Amino acid sequence: MSDSGPTALVGDSLVQGGDWQAWLPEETIYNFGVGGDTTDDVIARLGDVISARPAIVVLLIGTNDLAWRRSVEHVVRNVETILVTIRRELPDTRILVESVLPRGHEFAEQLRDINRHLWQFAPTVHAQWLDLWPALALDDGELNPAYSEDRLHLNEAGYRAWVDELAPALERLRQLPPSSRAITLPDLG
């Protein structure tokens, strides 16, 4: 798969902590995960991702914003900004937006709200959506305790469950036709 270009994984410590190259050996992985990052931080370093010119961008960001008491609207607006910027700067890049992962059940309502908005927005920038909640969450929205010791970060079993969802999603994404470019109108002024 890597012959059609590298895959950039963008996000926070959940992305940073993954051994993605070992788990996705057919992919050439650029890991742009940074521990503690919020959506504001990803916006600030988006130039690094764009400069890498990946064939695919996989985005998972937003849980740390809640720890900083940022609103659902703040997270959604920032993720939308990230996606619009990637689409504008990398029009041929395929984008996969992953749902913000479950954590403690006290965050479930906010996370579901964020994910609902992102699921609705993703198609407007020709991005695909991967909902990780069916694989990782309990019915009450709690991160399955089998996948985490601290109700936030994933253990080996949690990453395995994630990769089991991500690998086929990447395969499907590579099989899609390229996104159509925006039409640029001539400046008649």
Condensed to tens digits (0 to 9), the pLDDT of residues 98-148 reads 999 999 999 999 999 999 999 999 999 999 999 999 999 999 999 999 999
165-181 pLDDT, tens digit per residue, is 999 999 999 998 766 55
Between 114 and 189, whose confidence is greater?
114
| Confidence at residue 25, expressed as pLDDT on a 0 to 100 scale | 95
Nearest residue to 129 (alpha-carbon basis) of 100, 98, 102: 98
Q: Are 155 and 123 in contact (CB under 8 A)?
A: no
Sign of CA dihedral 6, 78, 87, 180: positive
Q: What's the confidence (pLDDT) of residue 127?
A: 97
Structure tokens at 107: 């965050």
pLDDT for 165 equals 98
HEC states along 70-121? Answer: CCHHHHHHHHHHHHHHHHHHCCCCEEEEECCCCECHHHHHHHHHHHHHHHHH
CB–CB of 132/99 below 8 Å?
yes
The class level of CATH for 2-174 reads alpha beta
Distance, first Cα to last Cα, the chain: 45
pLDDT band with cut points at 50, 70 and 90 for residue 19 = very high
Total number of residues shown for the chain = 189
Q: Is 182 left (phi over 0), alpha (psi -120 to 50) or beta?
A: beta
Cβ atoms 135, 165 nearer than 8 A: yes
- The string of pLDDT tens digits covering residues 42-85 is 999 999 999 999 999 999 999 999 999 999 999 999 999 999 99
What CA–CA distance (Å, rounded) separates 41 from 82? 11
